[in-house]
């Protein structure tokens, strides 16, 4: 995160990517805010941007401090048709426009506390799932796009699409803005729900106008990476180029089927045992085979380093820890874990 100071022109998303930068996004807002009591499981709609803006702002700020370069507007499922779907009160009592405007304002405020960009996001719609026409579905996206243009977001994301046909319609609608468009699908290696392969999905999205394509939300980092690889191969075979992105789940999903974690019996309230930790690679590589107690993955063997007064690694020094000292520490950890 860049320090707060005098304002300067920010590099755009494509400028950053074209120069070789790795751009870090945010995400997981509906799950994080549901756990905090600000989003209702089931609808997963973002009215908290209006009703509890301080909660949304705080989560954006946490992502910014963690290193995110993009603040994505909290507009997941914020289309007018979703906000009035199955008894949802938001469209009538608040309005989709107010939700989208509030989300844009919050994202911009936090983005300007650092060097982050703002991305306006749209997602799959009840209109498409209800078999409405291309014109009707695009009109839903255009309603959100009007707000994004008014609020001058930096670029646009079409995210969380299970059908490439609808994702293409979203990209085409957003591309009319003249701003860069990214598109992600919530698919795994098997492709979309109509059987279109990841490679073909990527090709169609790029031909529709997306500069960035990838996956999000239904699978863990490992499976998401496999899917992005298939997308990359599809683009190469078609002679097309695009930047690639991945917004994986923070849950392990090796046993998931075509629709990912939403089909798990643990979804959505029992997923915590699947949380992907921040452990170092060496930890996982040295896990003992689950062949029986007392030492298996269910019962760890403490390292028992035995460090105490006088041990070199505890001695105070004004200088920063050196590379050599770190190597010695990691080697010791590796030895103890073996």
Task: List residues forming the annotated binding site.
Answer: 217
Q: Which two tokens stand for residue 50?
A: 């209006």
Quick check: helix, strand or coil at residue 22?
Answer: coil
What is the C-alpha separation between 73 and 6, in angstroms, rounded? 24
- Number of alpha carbons in the 13 Å side-chain half-sphere of residue 168: 15
Cβ within 8 Å of residue 64, ≥6 positions away: 1, 26, 71, 110, 111, 113, 114, 116
Non-local CB neighbours of 292 within 8 Å, separated by 6+ positions:
none
Evaluate whether 235 touches 199 at the Cβ level (below 8 Å).
yes
Nearest partner of 217 among 187, 240, 242, judged by Cα:
187
The residues with which 117 forms a beta bridge, in sequence order, are 70
Among 182, 158, 168, 174, residue whose Cα is nearest residue 12: 182
Best CA proximity match to 100, nearest among 70, 33, 145: 145
HSE (side-chain half, CA atoms, 13 Å) at 101 = 7
State the Cα–Cα distance between residues 53 and 329, nearest whole angstrom: 44
The two counts, helices (H) then strands (E), for the chain are 14, 6
Rg (CA), the chain: 23
- Which is nearest to 155 in space by CA: 70, 98, 216, 213? 70
Q: Which residues are annotated as a binding site for Zn(2+)?
A: 217
Report residue 178 as tokens: 């003249």
């Amino acid at each position: 995160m860049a320090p707060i100071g005098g304002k300067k022109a920010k590099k755009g998303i494509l400028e950053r990517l074209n120069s070789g930068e790795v751009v870090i996004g945010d995400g997981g807002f509906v799950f994080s805010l549901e756990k905090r009591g600000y989003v209702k499981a089931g609808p997963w709609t973002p009215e908290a941007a209006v009703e509890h803006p301080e909660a949304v702002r705080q989560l954006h700020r946490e992502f910014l401090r963690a290193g995110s370069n993009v603040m994505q507007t909290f507009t997941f499922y914020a289309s007018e048709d979703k906000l009035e779907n199955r008894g949802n009160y938001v469209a009538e009592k608040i309005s989709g426009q107010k939700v989208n405007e509030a989300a844009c304002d919050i994202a911009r405020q936090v983005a300007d506390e650092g060097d982050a960009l703002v991305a306006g996001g749209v997602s799959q719609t009840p209109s498409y799932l209800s078999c409405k026409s291309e014109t009707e579905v695009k009109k839903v996206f255009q309603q959100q796009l009007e707000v994004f243009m008014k609020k001058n977001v930096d670029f646009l994301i079409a995210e969380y699409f299970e059908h490439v046909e609808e994702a293409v319609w979203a990209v085409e609608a957003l591309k009319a803005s003249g701003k860069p468009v990214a598109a992600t699908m919530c698919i795994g290696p098997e492709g979309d729900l109509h059987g279109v392969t990841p490679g073909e999905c990527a090709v169609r999205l790029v031909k529709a106008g997306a500069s960035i394509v990838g996956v999000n939300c239904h699978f863990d980092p490992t499976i998401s990476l496999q899917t992005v690889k298939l997308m990359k191969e599809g683009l190469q075979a078609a002679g097309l180029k695009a930047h690639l992105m991945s917004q994986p789940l923070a849950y392990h999903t090796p046993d998931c089927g075509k629709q990912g974690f939403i089909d798990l019996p643990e979804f959505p309230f029992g997923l915590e045992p699947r949380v992907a930790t921040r452990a170092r690679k060496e930890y996982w590589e040295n896990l003992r085979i689950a062949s029986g107690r007392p030492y298996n993955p269910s019962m760890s063997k403490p390292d028992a380093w035995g460090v105490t007064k006088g041990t070199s690694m505890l001695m105070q020094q004004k200088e920063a820890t050196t590379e050599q000292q770190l190597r010695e520490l990691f080697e010791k950890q590796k030895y103890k874990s073996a």
